[in-house]
Structure 1
Amino acid sequence: MTASTTTDSLAPLGPSSGAATGRASMLGRLDNGPFDLVVAGGGATGLGVALDAALRGLKVALLESHDFAKGTSSRATKLVHGGVRYLAQGRIGLVRESLRERSALLHNAPELVRPLPFVVPAYHFWEIPFYTAGLSLYDVLAGRDGLGATHVLSRRQTGKRLPGVCMKGLVGGIEYWDAQFDDARLAVALARAAEAAGAVVLNYVRVTGLIHERGRVAGVRAQDTETGQDFMLRSPCVVNAAGVWSDALRRLDAQASDRPVQDLIRTSRGTHLVVDRSFFPSDRALLVPRTADGRVLFAVPWLGKVLLGTTDVATDELTREPRPDDAEIDYILQEAGRYLQVQPARRDIRSAWAGLRPLVDPAAEGAAAGPVATRSISREHTVEISAAGLVTVAGGKWTTYRAMAQDALEACARAGLLATLPPCRTQDFVLAAAAGPRAGPAHGAQRGGDVLGSAGLTPAMIRHAARHEYARKVEDVLARRSRLLFLDAALAARAAPDAARILQSETGVDAGLDDFLLLARRYGLGMV
């Protein structure tokens, strides 16, 4: 959804065949099997696998039961990073790989990923040499991929770089570099690139089962959730990239062969709060590596707002819309108040949301069973191939999605699930998709009462999302093609009726307005 699409903003709202015929054509291609590879799951991992495979010349289909990046992949802290916290865990290999992939993302998606300086405020003198040593090692591990040197800051320099930071007791700070991105927009860019490379890429088509022949996975059964139409996609290679829902497909595979299976995923919930920039009017991010209870706190400038987070709470609840609980919200507000001059309150929250992290359970990899705090579980990924040939890619993070995809396909080739595997092309593949709106809600008064305009949107942007970016529901447009729901839930609710009307004229299907209004109320903590 780019500004360049605004030229048709005054076009009449007549029925459009663009979005409808495009999707119908893509659905029709599902019958043109067999495929070399079928991917279940349209988050970061699945989209990465689909793009990598398509660029190698393989015949690929990717199916996502909801919208692309609807789950974990649109709910990140918006950071492309090597993982400073993993240095303390001794995960040097993971940090080194992540720093390499950070560099690749900055090169491959320059419109969606940008370098971002971070400042660690120090309130005890011992913190300065302690954190400087760790962050200097971070620079060493980055090597040629470094974005800038780590610097020790005086108290005055720290205050200038972090306007709004609490000055009481501040003794200095440490500045280092990582990067920031728009997670949901990157997911759409990957989907568009995979389609352009020849892949069949469909959202709102769910995998309903696996096809087994002679004890081996031979494809998937699927259903278009809009029409109820059923499909059978045959393929000798099925990649399970369903994130926190991966174990459900693994259990279906095991049931077909009457084999026991142990769950691979341990789920953690991370909550984020969004407040106005007035609380932290900085172009740098604030990082507290260790809060009072050992967690990490971020205050990150993002699309004209400030993102506060995050929590790390073990949960067994698998839901498409995880809710932050009161304790998580209070924790973030309380910790933010310790480091900001003005403590935000509940009434100041513009949007509150949570995501589920798919962490690989150490017990499932042969480690001793027992209680494990989720923050101690590695974000390293695992590629598992079942006895029947189902390939599951689990764990990892957005920063390493490309390396995960490459590892998965190479594992498929070693297992004989792919007849051929040409060389990987994603290391230097530049995504051509343009970025969406960069500024979020417009500042100041509404322009002539135009709610869409005050939200930084135009009718043409919504049409573009439907015709070229797979948007089917108003939530797709206001949560992921633009990020309005995540930035200002109340404004998203006001913009939703107009957005839904335009979108429905494009797609010819129900835009899900009522469901979105309920969702916006939840993100706005009932204050919408």
Structure 2
Amino acid sequence: MDTVDLVVIGGGITGVGIAQRAQAAGYSVAVLEKGEIGQATSSNSSKLIHGGLRYLESGQISLVRESLAQRKALLLLAPTLVKPVPFYIPIYQGSQRGPLAIRAGLSMYALLSEFDALGQFKSIAPKEWGNLFGLKLQGLRAVFRYWDAQTDDHALTLAVADSAKQIGARIHTSVEIKSIEHQRDACTIHYKQNSLAKSLKALCVINASGPWVNKTLELVQPKVTGVDIELVQGSHLVLDIPPPDGILYLESIYDKRVVFVMPWKGKTMIGTTETPVNDADEVGVTQAETQYLLGIYRHYFPFSEEGSHLADKVIGNYCGMRVLPKQQVDAFDLPRETLMNTRVTHPRLMTIYGGKLTTFRHTAKDAVEWVEKQIGQRAAVADVDQLKLCASTNHTNNMLDG
């Protein structure tokens, strides 16, 4: 039976990010993914590399600061995959967030970004509002522009996985895990791949299986308890409409949530929703979500040529899944920090709950520090902070066209 230092269960951005950093630190790593790399949640996000301006409202300052630091790093490490893009925040009469509040938030955002180039923001003069993509002008009080970044999430995940493989990580797809035996100083994973029964011994195991994280824990022997979670679906629509030149940061007319209208591969995309679901295997864009998003678009772009025929312009949709701690608050208000859970009864196993596309590198750093505490240091084979991330041509073409 083969033995490795670390098995990572899950081939999303969190899993491959951990694999890349651990392999670079000198650990032998294997990733076990039930489907294909980045095929699920990590290819169904809002495609943003951002600090999360709205998280300031709920006091998640450390998350915003770390996200902005990782945005800066990814712009340097993956310049063909992560690109700056302007965001526009229109403020109307009756908006929940007035001009003073938005200005204060953007000032804090700039401060937390340590005043890098993307930390700049400005107020758009009223004479320029008519040029903002056909945006509704009635009741408009102010418009602010700031900067964040956009990416092709699937291509970024594949690029990180490829980087991990290049320095020696083993990545296995189409894997069905049957059981995880936790012993005192190692774990044995029994699984099937292409109908073949296989086993792999690992000194440490990290469960990074996203929405299926607790289902993976059910395979562990002896039994281990997980953390109660909320599964929240975020849906997006792709419209056959010429894209805006930037991203619109809009307040939902229904529930005051933040919704984005953005360019995507030469079309317009709108998202996202926050819909609690019970089972990660039974997700899908609902009719209610479609009407919710189209209603917001119609409200802010009332003179669009598509008008009442907007539903006919929907040429694609998708939904991602967020893993959030279960609390008695609305999904929109739940904290977005990543939870790294271990149990004294299972010292060789870590389970990761949540995780943001933007901060996958920070999550990976914390995970590898845990591995080091369990099995000691290894001789590093690469500096992960210098490894450039590049995607194949078919994943980068027309990413932000329009």
* TM-score after normalising by structure 1: 0.70
Q: Tell me the equivalent position of 1:127.
A: 98
Matched letter for residue 248 of structure 2:
L
Q: Give CA deviations for 1:313-347 in whole Å, capped at 9, x if unaligned.
A: 1111221x621111111110101111113246221
Q: Over residues 219-262 of structure 1, what are the superposed CA-to-partner deviations in whole Å (9 max), with x where a residue is unaligned? A: 311211xx301110101101100001010122222xx2245x24
2:65 corresponding residue in structure 1: 96
Q: Any gaps of 5 or more consecutive residues in structure 2? A: none
Query: Counterparts in 2 of 1:478-489, with a 5 A limit?
Result: none
- Residue aligning to 2:383: 425
On the 8 A contact 2:211/2:321 being kept in 1, the answer is: yes
Residue aligning to 2:212? 245
SS of residue in 1 equivalent to 2:160 = helix
Aligned to 2:298: 337
Partner of 2:80: 111
- Where 1:327 maps in the other structure, the secondary structure is helix
Q: Which structure: greater strand fraction?
A: 2
Give the CA deviation at 1:282: 2.1
Match of 2:187 in 1: 218
Match of 1:373 among 330, 347, 355: 330
Q: Does 1:399 align with 2:322?
A: no
Identical pairs, percent: 34
SS class of match (2:384):
coil
Q: What is the CA distance between 1:124 and its match in structure 2?
A: 2.7
Equivalence for 1:347: 312
Alpha-carbon separation, structure 2, partners of 1:401 and 1:288: 26
**TM superposition outliers: structure 1 runs of 4+ over 4 Å:** 421-424, 440-443
The CA deviation string for residues 405-447 of structure 1, in whole angstroms up to 9 with x for no partner, is: 1101112222x2x23255783233212444524227999xxxx
Counterpart code for 1:157:
E
Which residue, 211, 219, 222 being the options, matches 1:257?
A: 222
1:145 Cα deviation after fit: 3.5
1:315 partnered with 2:284: no
Structure-2 residue corresponding to 1:359: 324
Larger Rg: 1
Determine the C-alpha separation between the residues in 2 that align with 1:333 and 1:442: 22
Deviation at 1:69, TM superposition (A): 1.3
CA offset at residue 149 of structure 1?
1.1
2:258 corresponds in structure 1 to 296
Q: 1:306 — aligned with what? A: 268
Distance 1:441 1:189, change over 3 A: closer
Gaps in structure 1 of 5+ consecutive residues? 1-30, 363-370, 444-528
Q: For residues 94-152 of structure 1, give each alpha carbon's deviation from its aligned partner in whole angstroms, at most 9, with x where no partner exists.
A: 10000001111111111100001000112239822221111111111101434141101
- Structure 1 144/208 Cα, relative in aligned 2: closer, same or farther at 3 Å? farther
Give the match's secondary structure for 2:376: coil
Report if the CA contact (8 A) 1:360-1:381 is conserved: no
Indicate if the aligned counterparts of 1:244 and 1:265 stay in contact, CA closer than 8 A: no
Describe the superposition over 1:428-467 as per-residue Cα deviations: whole angstroms up to 9, x where unpaired: 3212444524227999xxxxxxxxxxxxxxxxxxxxxxxx
Query: Is residue 40–residue 207 contact of structure 1 (8 Å, CA) maintained in 2?
Result: no
Separation (CA, whole Å) in 2 of partners of 1:34 and 1:439: 42
Partner of 1:276: 240
Give deviations 1:270-326, integer Å, cap 9, x for gaps: 010000233xx421110014544121110011110111011001111221x621111
Would you say how many aligned residue pairs link Structure 1 and Structure 2? 392
Amino acid at match of 2:173: N
User: Partners in 2 of 1:239 and 1:323 — Cα distance?
Assistant: 28
Give distance in 1, aligned partners of 2:86 and 2:365: 29
Determine if the alignment matches structure 1 residue 232 to structure 2 residue 203: no
* Structure 2 CA distance for aligned equivalents of residues 119 and 100 of structure 1: 22
Determine the C-alpha separation between the residues in 1 that align with 2:104 and 2:164: 41
1:142-180 C-alpha deviation (Å, 9 max, x unpaired): 0143414110112332332x2121222223300000000
Deviation at 1:397, TM superposition (A): 0.5
CA distance in 2 between partners of 1:394 and 1:146 (Å): 32
Matches of 1:183 and 1:441, distance apart in 2? 12
Question: Aligned with 2:273: secondary structure?
Answer: coil
Counterpart of 1:178 in 2: which secondary structure? strand
State which of 316, 331, 340 in structure 2 corresponds to 1:383: 340
TM-score using structure 2 length = 0.91
Separation in 1, partners of 2:119, 2:341: 37
1:136 to 90, 100, 107: 107
Distance 1:89 1:198 in 2: 41
Structure with greater proportional helix content:
1
Q: Which amino acid aligns with 1:277?
A: I
User: Of 124, 128, 150, which aligns to 1:153?
Assistant: 124
| 1:84–1:442 Cα change, 3 Å | closer
**Are 1:37 and 1:237, in contact at CA under 8 Å, matched by a contact in 2?**
yes
Among candidates 48, 51, 54, match of residue 23 of structure 2: 54
SS at match of 1:143: coil
Q: Counterpart amino acid of 2:255?
A: D
Aligned partners of 1:41 and 1:78: how far apart in 2? 20
Deviation per CA, 1:31-90, whole angstroms, max 9, x where unpaired? 6x2101111100010000011111112111111100111211100111100001100001
- 1:271 corresponds to which letter in structure 2? S
Distance 1:441 1:395, change over 3 A: closer
SS in 2 for 1:222: strand
Q: Whole-Å Cα distance in 2 between the matches of residues 137 and 290 of structure 1?
A: 23
Secondary structure of the structure 2 residue equivalent to 1:114: strand
Within the candidate set 121, 128, 133, 1:163 is matched to: 133
More displaced stretch, 92-101 vs 137-146: 137-146
Structure 1 stretch 423-432 or stretch 281-290: which is displaced more? 423-432
